[in-house]
Structure 1
Amino acid sequence: MLFTIHLSLAQTTLELKGKVYADTGDPLQAIVSIHELGKYTVADPEGNFSFVGLNEGIYHLHITHMGFRSYSKNVTMTQESPTLSVVLKSSEILMDAMTIEANPFKNGPLEQSQTILIVDREFLNKNNGGTFANSIEKLPGISTINTGVGISKPVIRGMSFNRILVNDRGIKQEGQQWGADHGLEIDPFDVDRVEIIKGPASLMYGSDGMAGVINISPSGFKQNNEIELNYSGFYRSNNDMYSNSLALDGNEGDFVFRGRFTTQDFADYKIPADRFSYAGFILPIHENRLKNTAGKERHFSLMGGVQKSWGYSTLSVSNFSQNAGLFVGAVGIPNSYNLRSDGDFRNIDIPNQKNSHLKVIWNNSIQIGKSWMEVDLGYQRNQRQENSFPHNLGVGQTDFGNLALALDLDVYTANLRFNKQHNEQTQSIVGFNFQKSKNEKSGFEFLLPDFTSVQGGLFYFGEYKALSNLVFNAGIRLDRAMHNIQEHLQPLYQNGRPTGQIDQRNPDIDRSFGNLSGSAGLSWVFWEDFNLKFNLGSAYRIPTPVELATNGVHHGNFRHEVGNANLNGERSYQLDLNLAYSKPKFLITLSPFWGYFDQYIYLAPAARFSTLPGASQLWNYRQDNAIFTGFETITQFNPVKNLSFSLGLEYVYSHNLNSGLPLPLTPPFSSLLGIDYKLPEFSKIFGEIFLFAEYRYVSTQDRVDRNERTTPSYQLLEMGLGWDINVKKQTLKFQISGQNLTNSIYFNHLSRYRLLNLPEQGRNISFNLNIPIRVR
């Protein structure tokens, strides 16, 4: 790396200059950025922009401005590079202002052959649901699995857990994502941009990208000698949630730095019911609050590094810390006694869970000649503790006290990617991924044994630009993985006393897996307003240690889960199509998908209950051939200026080819209708004010697996008001909104509390405030 930097510094630095116009000929103060360097600038009132201190090479230039389609271009810098002249086409469609970079080396919608959704900080603020996963569930094709309020994980096209890969700053997030009660441990305020790839993405990202990838990106580096403070506050009335987040971001002489601290505190949440039914009993809900669902969160992140002409190098340290209560009916058997209110809705009692996720990430973007290399190294330590009373689970006094389960996971990750532009038509990427994981357990209960996993992969991705409006791409990947899982012997108890006998929950397991997979696709812009994307891929997923060896009560899921040591790897053959038609005031996209899964691994409910104390139904890991198909549509219409209508539809159809039944936990058909209106007559005096309303309809889900509950349809109404106030060249953003305004009683088919017949949250009023403060 030092040698490469030395060579780059020896080059004569260049200046990239340009001017941005609207299609009317007027200059634009657009945002212009260079992806590889993390640099951005804002054009002056005459539309002029410049970047100084560049080396010879190829750069990806991005230009965006609200009310116009985004623009992207590969720029080759030489001594004779001319001044650029860029014309942006007007568009009332907000999606056209987003620049796509789901592939780390790609830019612009033309070069993507997969269905991709992009959201920014403004979208996340508007739809803040208390967790990162809940903030993106309004996107078509995205849903969430919830355990109460503070715990949620994303679902893409009916698939979740280890079929969705979450990248945070280039490193795959590893947080025991195999459990529905294990939330995605991401600070929702520490996310600036999200890129969601729907469909097979294993080629670039590895085994867990079978259903899709969620790329989480921080904000771009500030300009030189610029420092900014930012405060974000958030309140939810339903569970009295208070969120506060303070960030500092700056650039001092090419030294870039960033820091954030976030706190979230919430009480037991309210549901529109005073009772629920379980196992034939009617049980009370006191004061409409679900007992012991309060929680506390403390998160921080720090980043520092250098930004030079040869690229950048940054080191990030972050920690996510959560202490959350578990509904008392989630551990053991719920009864009227343990459901009685204790008079304190904010205390965190037993049972509860404590989660901590530490990440250390070193990101590097380095110029080598005219090509670019990215190196990402990461270390993660995920610690999870579940506390409960031993006697509730038929266990007597133990050396662990109330520690029922502890899982400590250490993960080491290394990614290397090299991008080379061969000529104006062809470029390629060669990459390598490596990961080592080690899990250690503790506590008086057993769910998952100790294990060590090592996996790695090599890939090649090539792109050919046949015409200015037609791009082909294809790639191939080779993977190898090994799991070493230790035997576990669990002591047996009777009437709370040890019997002296032991039960082998799982044997020693030593398995290795290999795979070859690939994909190919195209993106074709025809008739100027139509964009056709087609992608055909074969993905491969390696069975996880939990699927091979788990054998215990998963209380947050209300079930006894049993693994299968003989599982094979699963393979998919997936087809993804995306057709978009875009005019300045109208956009419609249609995204059908189809996938055949050979040896699909899933948890299926058995027709009997577990014999373990405090357990419920028995669920087994199985393998069958299956089909997933469905579609998503997005429509935006701006009939007049400042008025916008949107409609999103999504449908997933799953079919088990062996049983002839649907697969469990398939989301139902859903639609979301939205209306936004800005009040231009007040903007000059009071700042920009906008109103919005959303209506969601979710159909009945009666296509369920054997022994799985059906879920009735429901409707939800949300409305809100936003206000952007300009104070001394600073823009303060305030929003008030209401969710489930009709206080409807409804059930989320994917919610873990659905198994207890508990409805979702009742009416909620949210307040959101964002205050940027320019220090320099």
Structure 2
Amino acid sequence: MKRLLVIVFSIVFINTYAQNTIKGTVLDNTTQAAIPFATIYLPELETGTTTNDKGEFSLDLKKGVFKVVVSYIGFQSQSITVTVPSEETLTILLSESAMEMEEVIISTPFHKLQSENVMKVEQKKLKELKASGAVTLAEGITSIAGVESISTGNSIGKPVIRGLSSNRVLVYTQGVRLENQQYGDEHGLGINDAGIESVEVIKGPASLLYGSDALGGVLYLNPERFAQENESSADASVNYFTNTKGYSTNAGYKSSSNGFKFLFRGSLTEHSDYDTKNYRVTNTRYREQDFKAGLGYQNSHFKTEFRYNLNNSKLGLPEEIGVQSTAKTPLLPYQNIDNHIFSSKSTLFFEDSSLDVTLGYIYNNRKEFEEHHDHDDHDDHDHDHDHDHDHDDHDEDDDHDDHDEHEILEAALNMKLKTFSYDVKYNLPTLGKFETIIGVQGMNQVNTNYGEEVLIPNATTNDFGVLATSHIHFETLDVQLGARYDYRSIAIENNSDNTFNSFNGALGVKTDIFNKVTARLNLATGFRAPNLSELASDGSHHGTNRYEIGNMNLSNEQNFQVDLALEYKNKHIELFANGFYNIVNDYIFLNPNGELINDDPVFLYEQENATLYGGEFGLHFHPHPIHWLHLESSFETVTGQQDNDEYLPLIPANSLTNTFRVEFNSENIKNINAFVKLRSTFAQNNVNAFETTSDAYNLLSVGVGGTFKLFNNDTNVSISATNLLDTTYVHHLSRLKPDGILNMGRNINIGVNYTL
């Protein structure tokens, strides 16, 4: 009997996990010529290969059904489904395309190419964002149509998606939700761009996929991939910024063999106060240190990875124009923030289904140091209210002496936020035209105060959600639908407990309504439970100079959005028009009551129904015979109003971006690229009663770059200039706008990347 069981088990094991070889050839659809070095990638397994010089490839896979994505520069990416084992030799035909090579979308559950996706998702490679000369990741994402940033100088930026921000936009990194007290105006993104491969943006309610706080959309940051099997690589880069006399460096190494893989990357960034045409903006200086590491293992039926990110930032908090200095050590007041992100992602593959388990733990420690009013003021902090002072830059020893004194001060604000999150999804076997996923998600979060100031009380938050979603493939259209239930409890120390719950659903359709015209219509509801600050804050926020009082009677924000996306694409041109209409019931906002506490105006949290509408429209012209030429244009607009006809605050101004760029290769230099970009921002006159209007302005940017061999290794050099004409302007979403403080002037970025 025992012998029989061993035989039966062996047969099952061999049939389930034995390796099977699939073979194929990749050909040009027009000429039938072989395409060498095309990429063959399996997104579920995160592995792949390339074709040989005859366009041939082979892969060893276990028994099952897999999605295979085939791509090559200058051709439209192709996605096919392969059933293993198979005796058939695959023939994959790629059609020429003037547009960029498509990537698999990770932020949506079925991991499809964007051309197959029912939801419209914007994806950008990080190198594309950095090529524009952006100083930070928060600034870089603003080049994506429909995305803006609320900024405090250069170091602090909060993503804004179609007019919604803070806790209405959820940020994911390393596959887990980022929790770093993002409710505050001066709490930035908190992620360094080193080790980030690409950015995906879901514009619109994504509560079906992510729960509360995804009411306005999702910013999904994809970490760099591990090395391919039996490969290793190392790289180092440095960027210098003339405006801030700052630099950003990073270096990394990754390797993979025998199923195991690892990587690590470290970076250091320092900037002085940024310069305008008239003055430097005092205390916008900052220093950031970042370390990322990853360890993974994979075999035919199981894959797992563990990643860790440590980020330490010392960020100056600008208040007025004062001392003119190029020192890099922040003055008082400043923040000292430690952010630890631990994530674990595992997938267990069965014969025709799979189980994904993602766990995350984030430890955020935020400290703020302030001037002690009973101390004599130092000369360094005698602020000059006249902006027309001497513009000579100088390093002052006093800045560094002051910093040494700051280090022995107790933090006025010392908050620790500990968040554990889990996400478990089961990918059911495909039934005919149906792909279905069911899952549970949740979070436990503890907020604790250790400083003398308590802006929000100690509290524990628990989330739990259950979801189901299906993608249905018909002959002429694709349908995606789903439903979800969420429950949140917030236990506040020395106060009553609050509970919130919500049902949400989504329905989307993608189809070709005309030849080469694709339409996507998505209807979705979303919700956001009030955050701890809105419920229970009671204190002065020195950065915003207001005293905020929470409201324990707040209810869920609930929204319904209609999103229509039209896209026309041929070999030469791509046209797109994305329109949305977003109804938000019980929108939470701050309103002054006319009183003062400690000389600060008192603001109360209130609710009112609101509506946002607008969209993004544009074109990408790439004439087929002239492969090196690209002309791109995009226009974005959003309007937000409460039901009482008052405009919502912090709504971005309309803008138009026109870009001319070229890409080509020469005998000695490859990936040569150059661009000229003009971004025209229109006046913003539709403002909240407590905002001021903003003037129109134009910003001109240029850049050039290329890759050449140095000691037989690739070396990429790029030079870009932003605000080339040194235009003086104030961005409508700058937190320094009420004081009339200008945004950054001309900046030249010189970057070098060396790969081993």
1:62 to 1:394, Cα distance in 2 relative to 1, 3 A: farther
- How far off its partner does 1:128 sit? 5.0
Instruction: Give the distance between the partners of 1:305 and 1:437, measured in 2 at CA.
Output: 27
What is aligned with 1:550?
Answer: 537
Q: State which of 260, 264, 283 in structure 2 corresponds to 1:292.
A: 283
What is aligned with 1:75?
Answer: 82
Using the TM superposition, name which of 359-368 and 106-115 deviates more.
106-115
- Letter aligned with residue 760 of structure 1: N
Q: State which of 30, 44, 66 in structure 1 corresponds to 2:73.
A: 66
- Letter aligned with residue 742 of structure 2: P
1:233 to 1:515, Cα distance in 2 relative to 1, 3 A: same
Q: State which of 554, 557, 561 in structure 2 corresponds to 1:570.
A: 557
Instruction: Give the distance between the partners of 1:253 and 1:127, measured in 2 at CA.
Output: 39
SS state of the match for residue 86, structure 1?
A: strand
Instruction: Give the distance between the partners of 1:669 and 1:8, measured in 2 at CA.
Output: 61
Matched, 1:202 2:207: yes
Instruction: Give the distance between the partners of 1:221 and 1:42, measured in 2 at CA.
Output: 16
Give a deviation string over 1:446-502, Cα, whole Å, max 9, x none. Answer: 3111111001100000121121x4111110000001001124xxxxxxxxxxxxxxx
What is aligned with 2:694?
Answer: 711
Q: Is the 8 A contact 2:664 2:670 kept in 1?
A: no
Q: Percent identity?
A: 28
Matched, 1:459 2:467: yes
- Letter aligned with residue 736 of structure 1: I
- Letter aligned with residue 656 of structure 2: S
- How far off its partner does 1:418 sit? 0.8
Runs of at least 5 residues in structure 2 that lack an aligned partner in the other structure: 1-8, 378-407
- Letter aligned with residue 642 of structure 1: W
Q: Is the 8 A contact 2:353 2:428 kept in 1?
A: yes
- How far off its partner does 1:528 sit? 4.6
Matched, 1:702 2:685: yes
Instruction: Give the distance between the partners of 2:409 and 2:79, measured in 1 at CA.
Output: 59
- Letter aligned with residue 542 of structure 1: A
Q: State which of 513, 517, 520 in structure 1 corresponds to 2:500.
A: 513
Q: State which of 296, 319, 337 in structure 2 corresponds to 1:355.
A: 337
SS state of the match for residue 124, structure 1?
A: helix
What is aligned with 1:127?
Answer: 132
Instruction: Give the distance between the partners of 2:338 and 2:295, measured in 1 at CA.
Output: 22
SS state of the match for residue 208, structure 1?
A: coil
Q: State which of 152, 163, 168 in structure 2 corresponds to 1:163.
A: 168
Instruction: Give the distance between the partners of 1:375 and 1:698, measured in 2 at CA.
Output: 44
1:430 to 1:686, Cα distance in 2 relative to 1, 3 A: closer
Give the 5 Å matches for 1:194-593. Answer: 194-273=199-278, 288-327=279-318, 329=319, 334=320, 339-341=322-324, 345-391=327-373, 401-467=409-475, 469-487=476-494, 508-593=495-580
SS state of the match for residue 543, structure 2?
A: helix
Q: Is the 8 A contact 1:114 1:577 kept in 2?
A: no
- Letter aligned with residue 299 of structure 1: D
Matched, 1:608 2:594: yes
Instruction: Give the distance between the partners of 1:348 and 1:644, measured in 2 at CA.
Output: 42
SS state of the match for residue 363, structure 1?
A: strand
Instruction: Give the distance between the partners of 2:459 and 2:376, measured in 1 at CA.
Output: 27
1:50 to 1:310, Cα distance in 2 relative to 1, 3 A: same
Instruction: Give the distance between the partners of 1:392 and 1:124, measured in 2 at CA.
Output: 46
Q: State which of 174, 195, 214 in structure 2 corresponds to 1:190.
A: 195
What is aligned with 2:650?
Answer: 665
Instruction: Give the distance between the partners of 1:213 and 1:772, measured in 2 at CA.
Output: 32
- Letter aligned with residue 78 of structure 2: Y
- How far off its partner does 1:14 sit? 1.1
1:392 to 1:186, Cα distance in 2 relative to 1, 3 A: farther
- How far off its partner does 1:93 sit? 1.4
Instruction: Give the distance between the partners of 1:562 and 1:81, measured in 2 at CA.
Output: 69
Runs of at least 5 residues in structure 1 that lack an aligned partner in the other structure: 274-287, 488-507
Q: Is the 8 A contact 1:9 1:310 kept in 2?
A: no
Instruction: Give the distance between the partners of 1:619 and 1:737, measured in 2 at CA.
Output: 43
Give the 5 Å matches for 1:679-690. Answer: 683-690=666-673
- How far off its partner does 1:665 sit? 0.7
Instruction: Give the distance between the partners of 2:481 and 2:542, measured in 1 at CA.
Output: 44
Instruction: Give the distance between the partners of 1:554 and 1:57, measured in 2 at CA.
Output: 56
- How far off its partner does 1:202 sit? 0.6
Instruction: Give the distance between the partners of 1:524 and 1:440, measured in 2 at CA.
Output: 50
Instruction: Give the distance between the partners of 2:229 and 2:223, measured in 1 at CA.
Output: 18
- How far off its partner does 1:179 sit? 1.4
1:422 to 1:72, Cα distance in 2 relative to 1, 3 A: same
Q: Is the 8 A contact 2:22 2:59 kept in 1?
A: yes
Q: Is the 8 A contact 2:308 2:342 kept in 1?
A: yes
- How far off its partner does 1:141 sit? 0.1
Instruction: Give the distance between the partners of 2:175 and 2:376, measured in 1 at CA.
Output: 44
Matched, 1:678 2:663: yes
- Letter aligned with residue 603 of structure 2: W
- Letter aligned with residue 69 of structure 1: Q
RMSD: 2.3
Matched, 1:140 2:141: no
Instruction: Give the distance between the partners of 1:359 and 1:388, measured in 2 at CA.
Output: 27
Give a deviation string over 1:128-164, Cα, whole Å, max 9, x none. Answer: 5232221111110000011111111211001011111
Q: Is the 8 A contact 2:312 2:338 kept in 1?
A: yes
SS state of the match for residue 136, structure 1?
A: helix
Q: Is the 8 A contact 2:358 2:424 kept in 1?
A: yes
1:42 to 1:730, Cα distance in 2 relative to 1, 3 A: farther
- How far off its partner does 1:267 sit? 0.9
Instruction: Give the distance between the partners of 2:749 and 2:637, measured in 1 at CA.
Output: 29
- Letter aligned with residue 477 of structure 1: R
Q: How many pairs does the alignment contain?
A: 715
Give a deviation string over 1:353-397, Cα, whole Å, max 9, x none. Answer: 0111101111102102311111001111001111002317999xx
1:93 to 1:303, Cα distance in 2 relative to 1, 3 A: same
What is aligned with 1:650?
Answer: 636
Instruction: Give the distance between the partners of 1:18 and 1:302, measured in 2 at CA.
Output: 35
What is aligned with 1:44?
Answer: 52
- How far off its partner does 1:534 sit? 0.8
Q: Is the 8 A contact 1:298 1:322 kept in 2?
A: yes
- How far off its partner does 1:402 sit? 4.3
- How far off its partner does 1:429 sit? 0.3
What is aligned with 2:718?
Answer: 735
Using the TM superposition, name which of 241-250 and 417-426 deviates more.
417-426
- How far off its partner does 1:756 sit? 1.4
Instruction: Give the distance between the partners of 2:490 and 2:200, measured in 1 at CA.
Output: 31
Matched, 1:88 2:94: yes
- How far off its partner does 1:619 sit? 3.1
- Letter aligned with residue 163 of structure 1: R
SS state of the match for residue 128, structure 2?
A: helix
Instruction: Give the distance between the partners of 1:40 and 1:581, measured in 2 at CA.
Output: 31
Using the TM superposition, name which of 121-130 and 168-177 deviates more.
121-130
1:447 to 1:304, Cα distance in 2 relative to 1, 3 A: same
Q: Is the 8 A contact 2:338 2:366 kept in 1?
A: yes
1:714 to 1:84, Cα distance in 2 relative to 1, 3 A: same
Give a deviation string over 1:5-64, Cα, whole Å, max 9, x none. Answer: x95896321122222122232222211111111102222222112221x21112121122
1:298 to 1:588, Cα distance in 2 relative to 1, 3 A: same
1:344 to 1:144, Cα distance in 2 relative to 1, 3 A: closer
What is aligned with 2:382?
Answer: none
